[in-house]
Structure 1
Amino acid sequence: MKHLFLSAAIAPFLLMTPAHAESAQADGAMPTAGAKAKDEAVFSTGVAKGRSPLDSATSTSAFRADDIEVLGARSLGEVLRNIPGIRAEHAGREGNADYSIRGLPMSGNGSKYVQLQEDGLPVLEFGDISQFGPDMFLRSDLNLSQIETIRGGSASTFASNSPGGVINLLSKTGDVEGGAVQATMGLNYGEHRIDADYGYKLSDTLRMHIGGFYREGEGPRDVGFDAYKGGQIKVNVTKQLENGYVRIYGKWMDDRTPNYQDVPMLVTGSNSDPSFKSLAGFDIKDDSLISKYNSRLFATDASNKIREDDLRDGQHAKVKSIGLDSQFDVAGWSISEKFRFSDISGRNNALVPIAIAPAVALAFNYGGGPGATLSYATGPLAGQAINPLTLNGNGLLTSSVYTDVKANSLDNMTNDLRASRVWEMGGGELTTTVGFYASSQDIDTEWAFLNILTEVNGGGDTALVNVRSAGGVPTTQDGYISYGLGNGLYRRDYDMNYDVAAPYASLNYRFGKVAIGGSLRYDMGNVKGTLLGADLGGGRVGVASVDVNGNGSISLAESKTGVLPLNRPGKVDYDYDYLSYSTGVNYRIAESMAAFARYSRGGRASADKILFTPVINYDTGALLNSESAYDTVKQAEVGFKYRVSGVTLNITGFSAKTGERNVQVNSLPDGSIRVENIIRGYKAKGVELEAIVRHGPFSVNAGATYTDAEITSDPTNTNFIGNTPRHQADLIFSVTPQFEMKWATVGANIVGTTDSYAQDTNQLKLPGYTLVNAFVQVRPTERVQLMFNVNNLFDETAVVNVLQASMPANGVVLGRANNGRTISGTLRYGF
């Protein structure tokens, strides 16, 4: 496979002959939306060859850097929720958000059917690698020129593992000289951040761009320490040639962010009309169970030796990448070559509640019966007795899990070689494209899940709690119930590699006002590796007695320490292949409008979500059922596009059918949390709308998606058939009106959703919400800008996830809400 990469990377340089110059877009040079120039703007993501949106049978959007700036987004998810057709569930955290497009299921975590790209190549080959989503390794900063997105359409044939669509973050490349430096401060929360970028033309044919950021601070939630710390630097150099261009680029990233998880919250009312509120002593919009008092993690390493880690490391992303982007015109052919190698590693630590109950009940449960006592295990009150009835004013404890997941290697090597040519034929233009894509994705990770007991206390003061039996015998150790889960559940080691090779081709014939096209892609995957863990079954043991604290004796918690069965690895060794296709027709009704129709079938390889499940023979490594190797998405689209000066309108009707194999976190009927393997079918239909209006100093950008989705098959839970998938609202929307004057700009960004169901049982509802984010920019001089952003202006409670399927008798659930009101100020100097 590596020889394929090298051969593909070298080939274009053997063909250089004089022709035309680079056709890449300038930095931030997407013409003003709605202007006449918009029709000539080239859109290149997920299509055979860049062309005007009005001449393409696809549903696309381009989000410029200026559009992103006014949002005051604290994370990439807060940016992407403003793009029509995209459903983004981020709950205020940066990284490991969930993304879907047009009603495609979000039954698990990550972005299974959507590929996140950076400069035209995937960040990770699979968008839903367990514990490590691609957005964990992406940041929005001054390097960003624009975001291009394609929903459905040819995304299934011009990228692997992306039948739903592609989200592509494009970097500035030095087309525009100059740069900026800006400082941002959280005015009611802890953040200090500095951004800078600079583009420069070294000569008439050589240019460069460099930029990055560094930040640190507690963040929008009270955790008691600097949960955000780190940054990134990106640089690229472009050489313009007579017949094209060559660009080399690099990225260095080392950034740490908190992993906000579900927290306890009160629910009153009924399943169909619930009201979610904060507990006494704990605010669901501003607090987290993460704390400086519960940060020490003890687990066994890959050799079953004790290691100590720190929960405060959170989502720690490390990336070192180098890439090549080139394009040449050779004998009438346009040849492009993209290559990147990324050295990716990091850690994802989290505190995940799995049960919430009165302290009295958990003392009884873990203390062996009546008379058990509680005391603080950590924090300034360590050793002091606890009155379970008055604890923090809410009287609650959680049985929680420390998830300590280390990524030794998520290294990704990717190459995409493509050649296109336009032929004059029969009074029209025939565009032919052939290409070959190859990638190699490592998944080398270590998992340790540990069971702890915590109080429910806000302000970053949550501490661990110890239990003693009525006879005074400790049943926990330093707040640990056990140094593992069950019989070693989720004490795992993955050492996997996924190779993908995919030839693809397309034809597009344009004659008069009509363009007809089709494309094919054939994905071939090779999966090899080994697994360690008691979850594999077959008599493997994943628990042992280990002297964690080194005091020479074994406590009850230490007798339940998770270990790897090092002498019983499981083997994975299988191949798969599938065909994707897409065909469409575009009719240019007039200069300002067009209509299109398209049908597509795309695939998505199952990747690590089928590991540690019964679909693989771990003695031979073979798949027991070839259908488990990938899932398919079939989509139909009909759309209308309209452009006149000051107005842009896109309307697309869609229908999709999806086969799904995934891992879902939900609740059992008693309210306890489980991880369930699911095999399902889904269908969805709806309408997607994008509108941009500009008139003088006033403009408004709006997007909305109406979706009617249902579960069509589930052999395990047949009663779910006909239900609406969890979290799928009928309507999601965003509206951004603004008024721009010479010296100032004011506006608001409004995002919202209607009701949805917490789980697939369709019992407990998540109420719809509307969040208003306000911004004002003041420009006292040409080079200076002062900006204030207020996210969640009215401090609304927006619940985005609840693990329980219905209201429990005690009225306490585990869920997540968006952050409360946050205010930031930014001072920028341009040069």
Structure 2
Amino acid sequence: MKAFHILLASTALALPLPVLAQTADVPATDTAQPADDTAPADDADIIVTGVARGQNRLDSSVSVSSLGQEALQTNAPRSVAELFRNIPGVRSESSGGEGNANIAVRGLPVASGGSKFLQLQEDGLPILEYGDITFGNADIFLRADLNVARVEAIRGGSASTFASNSPGGVINMISDTGEREGGVIQGATGIDYRDFRTDFSYSKHLSDTLRVHVGGFYRFGEGPREAGYDANRGGQIKLNVTKEFTGGYVRLYGKYLDDRAIAYLPNPIRVSGTNDDPKYSEIAGFSINRDTLHSPNITRNLTLDGNNNPVVNDIRDGQHPLVKAVGFETQFQLAAGWNVTNRFRYSDISGRFISNFPANVDSAATIATALAGAGSTLSYATGPNAGRVIANPATLNGNGLLAQIVVFDTKLNSLDNITNDFRLSHDIALGGGTLGLTAGFYKSRQTIDTDWLWTSLLSDVVGGGNAALVNVRNAVGTSITQNGVFGYAASYFGGCCRRSYDLNYDTNAPFASLNWSGGALTLDGSVRYDFGSAKGTVAGADLGGGRVGITTRDINRDGVIADAERRVAIIPLGSPAPVDYDFNYWSYSLGANYRLSPDLALFGRYSRGGRANADRLLFGPAVSTTTGGLLNADAAVDIVRQAEAGMKYRANGIAFYATGFWARTEEQNFEATTQRFFDRNYRAYGIELEGSIKRGPFSLNAGGTWTDAKIVSDAVNPGTVGNRPRRQAEFVFSATPQIDVDRFTLGANVIGTTSSYAQDSNQLKLPGYTQVNAFVQFRPAEQVQFSVNANNLFDTIGLTEAEEGAIPANGIVRARSINGRTISATARFSF
């Protein structure tokens, strides 16, 4: 109840970012937009995401928010996940670096990772059809730069019927399409960390009916944590060309993204006290929010590739998305008032995800004994001390710890995505109002072709980019490790997980909607039928059936079989398992909105939507390893049912929106780090508040969401029933107060959360925290701006997840924290 009282007390302040109109038509919209695609004024408050056609927000029965380019400039998020934290109702765990964030909405669960029930889009089409592909989360392939005109988000509601696999909502990054001529060049550098970045954006009208926009960025640097090398390096360029004609337009666009960004996985932190009242403290020589278990001394991953041939992969690749995308969109009118919209995009997506995951962190003596027995000895394998014996393991680096590292080395051979969204719309007069008809067809194909090439290392625990690999010998001097490698497999996970996926998921979805508007009343209903197939093969010893996964091989080809070379994982390529099944589900949404006055409206909505399960369904009990068919027909799709009702007010520089929501969610999933499957049902309800106020030079944008969520059934672990889902806080909030005077802008962006549980067992708590980001801008001339941004000004430790569900005997848990304080300076020149 304490969080509920906080929510009520915050009502007077709960006024977040104002909704801006979306100029680019998106799949969640009809195309009754101006032919020139021109953005309306901010105060027009037109929304189009997740509705059949553009509407004034007070006339719609959905919850939509928007962040403009200004928010990107003032908040200076270090990743899209940090940007999304400012959207009410969205829980974005921004602790993984530039990507690999867990993102959820309105109490819907994050049982494994990624954004399962929430779809991330770019210009109205999905980045990936599934936002939770293992080691291929959608946000890895998305970057925020000057190309972004605004970010629109719908929570719940008709997201179920205007996009596939997105019952929780849609977040859409909408590109600048060159309506306003001119350009921007922007340079940024870290003040207290090493990071350098250049952005540019340019728009030009080539004629009255033809315009072009191009933009992108390039950056390099160590990043917000001390890795000891350029952990972030790469960039993106995007281009679009728009040709207008009477009654419509056609737009061609392309994108090239080649970026490397370090992936921050859980790191060790000490905890004392009790599970219900834990006391977290940093380990000597290692900061949970400033350090990482990466270093120049740990860069090579010698392993077998997807064809079981030796290969050396570079751990510094981190999250390496390589995206080459082309597409088009068009809008035009047919006879008798029919409007046609079509969007198409082909994305050639590949790359790698590689990072160090600590399977265990414990005292050096304990780990050495566990690996090599009593009387074992330790020595450095890499780094400036390579070959030196560690004489006193108890004092190693001032903490006496070692980390058993599993290198999550995943080759993303292909995550290619091809998508087309076609729709036809028409208005007719009916019953003293207007009836809008929309019908369309959506088609996509998502490839998932990946290889899991994991290995097991032994490392010391020290920050500053100084970590090094460690060798361990048994009492008779036999080396158990080879150059710091314990096994050329996920040996610390029992040798599991050497896998190969080669799959194609086809999705087809006809959809239709009716929207009637007459006077103060608006009624709408929509329906969607998704059907498709999953076909391909998977290979891995985890499939059973006599498939062999561990062998002996001379990996370094020196003619000697070392102990570590007896723990070599191979992919059983000769005995793959087929995947061959179909799926289908219905989605529908019904809504009503009544405008009590020009400034006040009430709305309500009920929706049912689904999410087809993809690769996380495999290697488990749901799919036959002999036929590829479903052993459990219900496993193919998880259904979400939602209801919401609320009020909207906007007048005299004040906007306020309050929504009560309820959701019932099915969830079947797999978590790679714990090798656990989930089969559950969840229930969540709560209140979501948002709004804005502006008085003279002062403005405030803020919001908060109170959620009561619990597990209502669990087929695998009934002991969790009645518990709160892990990492689900009761209350999350954001606020951005700002003062604009002449040449100066001064403000802060505050993000906060109450406590949550680390795991579904509801034992160990993750403390609540508040992060403050501050910014100041100075404009000495009309087209010149200098700014300084402090992200996490007070260097707060904010734990977003932990692997342990209770305080272990050694008092060390593996957790992910938000990044520590980083201060950047930016110079921006417009022309």
Which category describes the TM-score, using the shorter chain as reference length?
A: over 0.9
Is the Cα contact below 8 Å between 1:21 and 1:240 reproduced in 2? no
Return the letter of the residue paired with 2:746. Answer: V
1:78-103 alpha-carbon deviations (Å, 9 max, x no partner) = 11000101000021511110111100
Correspondence for 2:550 among 538, 543, 555: 543
The 5 Å alignment of 1:164-183 reads 164-183=168-187
Return the letter of the residue paired with 1:448. Answer: L
Return the letter of the residue paired with 1:281. Answer: G
Which residue pairs with 1:289 in the alignment?
Answer: 293
Secondary structure in structure 2 of the residue aligned to 1:578: strand
Secondary structure in structure 2 of the residue aligned to 1:96: coil
Deviation at 1:23, TM superposition (A): 5.7
Is the Cα contact below 8 Å between 2:555 and 2:565 reproduced in 1? yes
Return the letter of the residue paired with 1:458. Answer: G
Secondary structure in structure 2 of the residue aligned to 1:779: strand
Query: Over aligned residue pairs, what C-alpha RMSD do you find?
Result: 1.2
Deviation at 1:413, TM superposition (A): 0.2
Aligned mates of 2:646, 2:697 — CA distance in 1: 30
Deviation at 1:562, TM superposition (A): 0.8
Correspondence for 1:552 among 550, 556, 559: 559
Which residue pairs with 2:589 in the alignment?
Answer: 582
Work out whether 1:427 is the aligned partner of 2:440: no
The 5 Å alignment of 1:219-234 reads 219-234=223-238
Aligned mates of 1:110, 1:125 — CA distance in 2: 12
Aligned mates of 2:792, 2:257 — CA distance in 1: 29
Which residue pairs with 1:212 in the alignment?
Answer: 216
Deviation at 1:285, TM superposition (A): 1.3
Which residue pairs with 1:624 in the alignment?
Answer: 631
Deviation at 1:46, TM superposition (A): 2.0
Is the Cα contact below 8 Å between 2:531 and 2:585 reproduced in 1? yes
Aligned mates of 1:304, 1:20 — CA distance in 2: 54
Correspondence for 1:142 among 143, 146, 151: 146
Work out whether 1:22 is the aligned partner of 2:35: yes
Alpha carbons of structure 1 residues 350 and 241: separation in structure 2 relative to 1, 3 Å: same
Secondary structure in structure 2 of the residue aligned to 1:54: helix
Return the letter of the residue paired with 2:364. Answer: A
Secondary structure in structure 1 of the residue aligned to 2:781: coil
Deviation at 1:47, TM superposition (A): 1.8
Structure 1 residue ranges, 4+ long, deviating more than 6 angstroms after superposition? none
Which residue pairs with 1:251 in the alignment?
Answer: 255
Is the Cα contact below 8 Å between 2:33 and 2:54 reproduced in 1? no
Is the Cα contact below 8 Å between 2:96 and 2:265 reproduced in 1? no
Which residue pairs with 2:713 in the alignment?
Answer: 713
The 5 Å alignment of 1:289-328 reads 289-328=293-332
The 5 Å alignment of 1:677-716 reads 677-716=677-716
Is the Cα contact below 8 Å between 2:269 and 2:282 reproduced in 1? yes
Is the Cα contact below 8 Å between 1:143 and 1:197 reproduced in 2? yes
Work out whether 1:758 is the aligned partner of 2:758: yes
Secondary structure in structure 2 of the residue aligned to 1:225: coil
Deviation at 1:695, TM superposition (A): 1.0
Aligned mates of 1:790, 1:302 — CA distance in 2: 43
1:147-199 alpha-carbon deviations (Å, 9 max, x no partner) = 01000010000000000000000000010000110100000001000000001
Work out whether 1:372 is the aligned partner of 2:376: yes
Secondary structure in structure 2 of the residue aligned to 1:548: coil
Which residue pairs with 2:9 in the alignment?
Answer: none
Aligned mates of 1:459, 1:122 — CA distance in 2: 38
Which residue pairs with 1:571 in the alignment?
Answer: 578
The 5 Å alignment of 1:2-17 reads none
Correspondence for 2:644 among 628, 637, 641: 637
1:617-662 alpha-carbon deviations (Å, 9 max, x no partner) = 1221111111010100000000111111311111100000000001
Return the letter of the residue paired with 2:456. Answer: N
The 5 Å alignment of 1:40-79 reads 41=46, 43-79=47-83
Calculate the TM-score normalised by the size of structure 1: 0.95
Return the letter of the residue paired with 2:701. Answer: N
Which residue pairs with 2:663 in the alignment?
Answer: 656
Which residue pairs with 2:395 in the alignment?
Answer: 390
Deviation at 1:30, TM superposition (A): 5.5
Unmatched runs of 5 consecutive residues or more in structure 1: 1-18, 666-672
Work out whether 1:448 is the aligned partner of 2:436: no
Return the letter of the residue paired with 1:309. Answer: N
Aligned mates of 1:648, 1:625 — CA distance in 2: 48
Which residue pairs with 1:594 in the alignment?
Answer: 601
Secondary structure in structure 1 of the residue aligned to 2:563: coil
Return the letter of the residue paired with 1:54. Answer: L
Deviation at 1:215, TM superposition (A): 0.1
1:725-778 alpha-carbon deviations (Å, 9 max, x no partner) = 010111000000000011010000000000110111111111000111100000
Deviation at 1:68, TM superposition (A): 2.1
Which residue pairs with 1:610 in the alignment?
Answer: 617
Deviation at 1:664, TM superposition (A): 3.2
Correspondence for 1:333 among 333, 338, 341: 338
Which residue pairs with 1:668 in the alignment?
Answer: none
Correspondence for 2:110 among 106, 113, 123: 106
Work out whether 1:465 is the aligned partner of 2:478: no
Secondary structure in structure 1 of the residue aligned to 2:542: helix
Which residue pairs with 1:411 in the alignment?
Answer: 416
Secondary structure in structure 2 of the residue aligned to 1:385: coil
Which residue pairs with 1:499 in the alignment?
Answer: 506
Aligned mates of 1:30, 1:663 — CA distance in 2: 46
Question: After the TM superposition, which of the residue ranges 652-661 and 588-597 deviates more from structure 2?
Answer: 588-597
Return the letter of the residue paired with 2:546. Answer: G
Question: After the TM superposition, which of the residue ranges 765-774 and 298-307 deviates more from structure 2?
Answer: 298-307
Correspondence for 1:474 among 479, 487, 492: 479
Alpha carbons of structure 1 residues 25 and 546: separation in structure 2 relative to 1, 3 Å: farther
**How many positions carry a matched residue from both structures?**
796
Aligned mates of 1:337, 1:594 — CA distance in 2: 33
Deviation at 1:399, TM superposition (A): 1.0
Aligned mates of 1:20, 1:113 — CA distance in 2: 29
Is the Cα contact below 8 Å between 2:36 and 2:244 reproduced in 1? no
Work out whether 1:123 is the aligned partner of 2:136: no
Is the Cα contact below 8 Å between 1:263 and 1:816 reproduced in 2? yes
Return the letter of the residue paired with 2:806. Answer: S
Correspondence for 1:529 among 508, 513, 536: 536
Which residue pairs with 2:676 in the alignment?
Answer: 676
Return the letter of the residue paired with 2:192. Answer: N
Return the letter of the residue paired with 1:712. Answer: V
Aligned mates of 2:271, 2:706 — CA distance in 1: 28
1:546-581 alpha-carbon deviations (Å, 9 max, x no partner) = 111111011111111110111101100111111000
Deviation at 1:382, TM superposition (A): 0.5
Is the Cα contact below 8 Å between 1:488 and 1:541 reproduced in 2? no
Which residue pairs with 1:359 in the alignment?
Answer: 364
Work out whether 1:811 is the aligned partner of 2:824: no
Deviation at 1:472, TM superposition (A): 0.5
Secondary structure in structure 2 of the residue aligned to 1:642: strand
Deviation at 1:261, TM superposition (A): 0.7
Return the letter of the residue paired with 1:687. Answer: I
Return the letter of the residue paired with 1:799. Answer: L
Return the letter of the residue paired with 1:733. Answer: F
Is the Cα contact below 8 Å between 1:290 and 1:351 reproduced in 2? yes
Deviation at 1:245, TM superposition (A): 0.4
Secondary structure in structure 1 of the residue aligned to 2:179: coil
Is the Cα contact below 8 Å between 1:21 and 1:241 reproduced in 2? no
Is the Cα contact below 8 Å between 2:96 and 2:263 reproduced in 1? no
Return the letter of the residue paired with 2:353. Answer: N
Aligned-residue sequence identity (percent) comes to 52
Calculate the TM-score normalised by the size of structure 2: 0.95
